[in-house]
Every structure is written in C-alpha cells, then in structure tokens.
Amino acid sequence: MAVLAESGSNPDVDLLYDINGLAKDAPHWFDRIMEFVGEYGLLVAMVLLVLGCWWSVRRRGDEEAASSVAALVWAPLAAGVAILVNVPIRGFVERPRPFVDHRGLDVLVSGKTDFSFVSDHATITMALGVGLFVANRRFGLAGIGVALLEGFCRIYMGVHYPTDVVGGFALGTAVALLLSPPAMALLTPLMKAVERSPRAGWLVRSRSAGERGSALLPGSRSELTAEERDLAA
C-alpha cells in the first residue's frame, strides 16, 4: 500500500516497483549477473548476432547477398542515428531517473546522472534488432527478443521507467524502418561494388560461394551439351 501511495496509482511507477521488486527478492549473485547482462552483456549479444548473420549471408552467397549485407550495415548505422535523435528528446523532456523521485528502489547500477527518457540501451538494441530483421527474419526475431530482454533488465535494475523503455523501442524501430528505404538505396549499390572487388569481395560473398555460383552459370563448362563434349573429345 505504501508503494501505491507513493506512486500515486501511476501504472508506469507501479510496474517499475513490481519489476524492480524482483531484484530485492533475488540472491545477490543473480543481481550482479543481471547488472552485467543489462549494462553490457546484451549489447555484446546483439553485436554477435549481427556478425553471425553477416557470416551466414556471405557463406550462402546467393544473388541477394549484397542487399542483405547492406541491411546489416544499416543496422548499426540506424542505432547510431537513433541515439543522435534521442539527444534532443532527452534534453526536451528532462525526466529524472526513477530513483531520484521514488524511494525504496533497488538500484543495481550507480553513477547514472543523466535523464531517463528515452532509454539508450532500449533504443540501440531495438534498432539493431529491427535492422537485423530487414536483413534476415530468423536472426531479426532473435535480435528483437534480445532487445525486449534488455528493456526488462533496465527496469529490473531500477534505472528506467517502463515508458522509458517503450519509448526507446519506438524510437529504434521508427528510425530503422522509416530511414531504411533511402539507406538501402545508398548502401546496396555500394555493397554490390564491394562484391565485385577482387580484394574486398569476400566481405559480401565468400570465395567458396562464388565458386559454387559460377559453376552453375549458364554456358559454364559443367553445362556443356553431350554433342559439345563429343566434339571436344
């Protein structure tokens, strides 16, 4: 009842106390794991997902490889653009961190002195997840799942309100999707040029994939007719 009175029956604050309350009941070692995962671990996981998707795309080496790699290049760029967009939003809203205005929170990370809305971590991970989805649905769904877990961790750690996280998800998604068409229009021809490069082509398509593709091209030696083979003999 005390928590409800302090929150003024605000669903945003009530949910904050409910999720952060799990940290109070959890063992100390589990909170330390959540602190690391929420602050650094899931960001590293997103980077590994992007790299794993890139490795899968270039090994497959199909005709859509250049556009898929272009989408992967756009994913981190979208995250960077979203963070830049968040700078004026934070300055305009100027929402204090939840532990500044609300007592009794179990804050797992100290030293947070900037404003709360919107969450940078939620913005970055969701922009990367949606950018991954544009490139590859399987990796993208995994990335969006990681982003959702990141949002939960930020509330669990007591450093963001739920609406901070939702705002970050919305911002990351909006930037990744709305700016995707012009970004792809610029990046896809660039990746196709890289693909044709003798030195940098492996960044888009592995050499083994290129060899498999060339073996199936019409008019290749593997597709000579029986008559041509007889003439050659």
Closest CA to 156 of 15, 10, 5: 15
The model's pLDDT over 172-222, given as tens digits with 9 standing for 90+, comes to: 999 999 999 999 999 999 988 888 888 888 878 776 655 544 444 444 344
Q: How far apart are CA 19 and CA 17, in angstroms?
A: 6
Q: Mean pLDDT in the chain?
A: 84
The model's pLDDT over 102-127, given as tens digits with 9 standing for 90+, comes to: 888 888 888 788 899 999 999 999 99
Helices 65-93, 42-60: axis angle to 10 degrees equals: 160
Q: What is the mean pLDDT of residues 56-85?
A: 88
Contact call for residues 135 and 181 (beta carbons, < 8 A): no
Cβ-proximal residues to 67 (8 Å cutoff; 6+ apart), any chain: 184, 188, 191
CA distances 63 to 121, 152, 195, Å, are 34, 38, 11
Q: What is the mean pLDDT of residues 13-35?
A: 91
The model's pLDDT over 155-165, given as tens digits with 9 standing for 90+, comes to: 999 999 999 99
Answer yes or no: is pLDDT of 9 > 90: no
User: Which residue shows structure tokens 């690391």?
Assistant: 36
